[in-house]
């Protein structure tokens, strides 16, 4: 690979942008992304412990790669994983992936699988099927929040549990199984944060489904996958026998080329819906609320004009960008940003960097509750564009529509903490004082 002279060290930046610890320090991470966007937006990256890849940091390049789904495919390498972890999965399962979810697949399989739930997740369907249920769940969580009094942790009281209940509702998982599902959604995306793992272990302490931690992350993840495959296997059987009006039924009875969805794909469908639909929405809710605590003028704007809430929701999603990257692999030699990408090269699409790209956003490092336009790419782009984005928007809009009128003043009582992780991460604590109106 041709070397270029930069004022920064290639080794340092390469190791930093994959380092899960760096993601706990947003300012440091954004500084690295800004350096790459300015000096080398299509950057050949050779971090220690990971296979090399191209780091794509500009909004325009991320969208053009995401749109070219034949040229850049998902299946080969979906997200950044240390070489050691990749080898373990290959040896244990004989495959490069533990699951066969939508994000792991390409057309034509991907299109056929996605088609099964497509209409269910369209904005009109989500609104008419779910709005009253989601509003009731939001109100219930806000009541709980109020019952805590004036000082509380917004992540651990509200943001973590509200989207979990919504997603479990549509997957038909009863409330008593929620602690178990929390473990799935918190640990499947490879959470490396000791506090997050400790929290999910505390909530599942002594649960009969879980044999306990082996001390090896890969072994635990594999064991967890088996537990969930068993759990959702029973859900499939039930929904085939007793169809209901939920997404679980749509998946269980979905057909591909006239045949039922293969077992592993069906089980993986539940897993991706549960996992992709939880932490992402939690993180945006917490990050948006945090910015309102930091900026009373922005809170006042929304309270004065609640019709701005949908714009605020988009800004909260841009600001937090809960999914930090996805990867693609080139199927043939091509050019991108003046660089030659070889067939088989991997590319990491750093969405958080695209969402702070000064070429697209006016004052990108300012949180503006009424930012408009807001062409963020936190939901990705192209054929894999987030399936649940209309649901996520609805959940966040309803939460803030219900919550903001009840709040008089809001402030942080300590600096919030961000979880460790280079894939899906965000606030793990948000200590606030609220005076209720
Ligand atoms: C895919 C972000 C909420 C289900 C994705 C992708 C991103 C993303 C970046 C990959 C897009 C790409 O490769 O171009 C988010 C964010 C959310 C959110 C930021 C909340 C703020 C949800 C919810 C659900 C969901 C609530 C579930 C109901 C999915 C699924 C995929 C996906 C199934 C795979 C789509 C495919 O590969 O075709 N999401 N998501 N997401 N998301 Fe979301």
Element (H, E) at 136: helix 123-147
The set of residues, in sequence order, having a beta carbon less than 8 Å from that of 322 and lying 6+ positions away, is 279, 280, 281, 283, 284, 378, 424, 425, 426
- Asked if 390 and 364 count as a contact pair (C-beta separation under 8 A), the reply is no
**Ramachandran bin of 173, using left for φ above 0, alpha for ψ from -120 to 50, beta for the remaining angles:** beta
In angstroms, rounded to a whole number, what is the distance separating the alpha carbons of residues 7 and 142? 50
Q: Is 276 in the pocket of ligand 1 (CB under 6 A)?
A: yes
The tokens describing 274, both together, are 């549960």
Q: Is 57 in the pocket of ligand 1 (CB under 6 A)?
A: no
Supply φ then ψ for residue 347, to 5 degrees: -130, 135
Reading across the β-sheet that carries 42-45, which strands appear in turn?
A: 42-45, 53-56, 346-350, 325-330, 72-73
**How many Cβ atoms from other residues are within 10 Å of residue 8's Cβ?**
12
pLDDT at position 149, please?
Answer: 95
Q: What is the whole-number distance in angstroms between the Cα of residue 275 and the centre of ligand 1?
A: 9
Q: What is the whole-number distance in angstroms between the Cα of residue 97 and the centre of ligand 1?
A: 18
Measured by CA distance, the residue closest to atom 42 of ligand 1 is: 386
The tokens describing 176, both together, are 């008593």
- Give 120's DSSP letter: G
Q: Is 183 in the pocket of ligand 1 (CB under 6 A)?
A: no
pLDDT at position 91, please?
Answer: 84
Q: What is the whole-number distance in angstroms between the Cα of residue 272 and the centre of ligand 1?
A: 9
Which residues is 43 bridged to in the sheet? 55
Which residues is 42 bridged to in the sheet? 56
Element (H, E) at 92: helix 83-93
pLDDT at position 210, please?
Answer: 55
Measured by CA distance, the residue closest to atom 6 of ligand 1 is: 386
Up-side HSE of residue 143: CA atoms within 13 Å toward CB? Answer: 6
- Asked if 167 and 184 count as a contact pair (C-beta separation under 8 A), the reply is no
- Asked if 365 and 356 count as a contact pair (C-beta separation under 8 A), the reply is yes
In the block, tokens 């969930």 appear at 228
The set of residues, in sequence order, having a beta carbon less than 8 Å from that of 367 and lying 6+ positions away, is 291, 294, 295, 298, 315, 319
Q: Closest ligand 1 atom, CA of 121?
A: 28
pLDDT at position 189, please?
Answer: 62
Q: Is 105 in the pocket of ligand 1 (CB under 6 A)?
A: no
Per domain, the residue ranges of the chain are 2-436
Please work out, in degrees rounded to the nearest 5, the angle formed at the alpha carbon of residue 264 by the alpha carbons of 183 and 125: 75
The set of residues, in sequence order, having a beta carbon less than 8 Å from that of 160 and lying 6+ positions away, is 182, 282
pLDDT along the chain (437 residues), means of 10: 66 92 96 97 96 98 98 95 86 79 94 96 93 97 96 95 93 86 74 74 61 66 80 92 92 94 90 90 98 97 98 98 98 97 98 98 98 98 98 98 97 96 95 97
**CA distances (Å), 264 to each of 60, 194, 232, 249, in order?**
35, 30, 11, 16
What is the dotted CATH code of the domain comprising 2-436?
Answer: 1.10.630.10
Q: Is 281 in the pocket of ligand 1 (CB under 6 A)?
A: yes
- Asked if 434 and 424 count as a contact pair (C-beta separation under 8 A), the reply is no
Report the relative pairing of strands 53-56 and 346-350 from DSSP bridges: parallel
Whether omega before 211 lies within 30 degrees of 0, making that bond cis, reads no
pLDDT at position 254, please?
Answer: 94
Q: What is the DSSP string of 320-355?
A: H-SB-EEEEEESS-EEETTEEEPTT-EEEEEHHHHT
pLDDT at position 2, please?
Answer: 46
CA gyration radius, the chain: 21
Q: What is the whole-number distance in angstroms between the Cα of residue 129 and the centre of ligand 1?
A: 19
Q: What is the whole-number distance in angstroms between the Cα of residue 184 and the centre of ligand 1?
A: 16
Q: What is the whole-number distance in angstroms between the Cα of residue 385 and the centre of ligand 1?
A: 7
In angstroms, rounded to a whole number, what is the distance separating the alpha carbons of residues 159 and 278? 10
pLDDT at position 4, please?
Answer: 59
- Give 413's DSSP letter: S
């Amino acid at each position: 690979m041709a070397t270029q002279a930069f004022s920064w060290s290639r080794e340092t930046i390469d190791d930093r942008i994959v380092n899960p610890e760096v993601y706990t320090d947003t300012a440091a991470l954004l500084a690295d992304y800004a350096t790459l966007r300015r000096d080398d937006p299509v950057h050949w990256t050779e971090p220690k412990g990971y296979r090399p890849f191209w780091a794509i940091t500009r909004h325009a390049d991320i969208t053009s790669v995401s749109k070219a789904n034949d040229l850049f495919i998902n299946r080969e390498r979906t997200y950044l994983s240390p070489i050691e972890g990749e080898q373990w999965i290959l040896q244990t399962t004989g495959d490069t992936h533990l699951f066969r979810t939508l994000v792991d697949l390409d057309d034509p399989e991907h299109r056929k699988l996605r088609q099964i739930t497509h209409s269910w997740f369209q904005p009109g369907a989500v609104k008419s099927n779910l709005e009253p249920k989601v509003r009731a769940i939001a109100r219930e969580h806000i009541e709980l929040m109020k019952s805590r009094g004036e000082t509380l942790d917004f992540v651990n009281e509200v943001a973590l549990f509200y989207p979990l209940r919504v997603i479990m509702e549509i997957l038909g998982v009863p409330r008593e199984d929620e602690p178990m599902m929390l473990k799935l959604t918190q640990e499947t995306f490879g959470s490396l944060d000791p506090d997050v793992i400790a929290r999910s272990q505390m909530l599942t302490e002594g649960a009969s489904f879980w044999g306990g931690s082996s001390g090896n992350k890969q072994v635990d993840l594999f064991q967890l996958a088996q537990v969930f495959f068993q759990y959702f296997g029973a859900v499939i059987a039930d929904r085939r026998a007793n169809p209901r009006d939920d997404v679980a039924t749509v998946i269980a009875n979905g057909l591909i080329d006239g045949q039922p969805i293969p077992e592993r794909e069906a089980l993986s469908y539940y897993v991706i819906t549960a996992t992709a639909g939880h932490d992402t929405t939690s993180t945006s809710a917490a990050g948006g609320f945090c910015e309102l605590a930091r900026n009373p003028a922005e809170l006042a704007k929304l309270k004065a004009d609640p019709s701005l809430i949908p714009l605020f929701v988009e800004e909260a999603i841009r600001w937090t960008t809960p999914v930090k990257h996805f990867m693609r692999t080139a199927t043939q030699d091509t050019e991108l940003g003046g660089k030659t990408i070889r067939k088989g090269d991997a590319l990491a699409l750093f969405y958080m960097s695209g969402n702070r790209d000064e070429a697209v956003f006016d004052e990108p490092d300012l949180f503006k509750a009424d930012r408009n336009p807001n062409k963020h790419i936190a939901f990705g782009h192209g054929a894999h564009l987030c399936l649940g984005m209309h649901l996520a928007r609805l959940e966040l809009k309803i939460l803030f529509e219900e919550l903001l009128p009840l709040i008089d003043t809001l402030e942080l009582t300590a600096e919030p903490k961000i979880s460790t992780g280079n894939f899906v991460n965000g606030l793990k604590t948000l200590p606030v004082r609220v005076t209720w109106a």
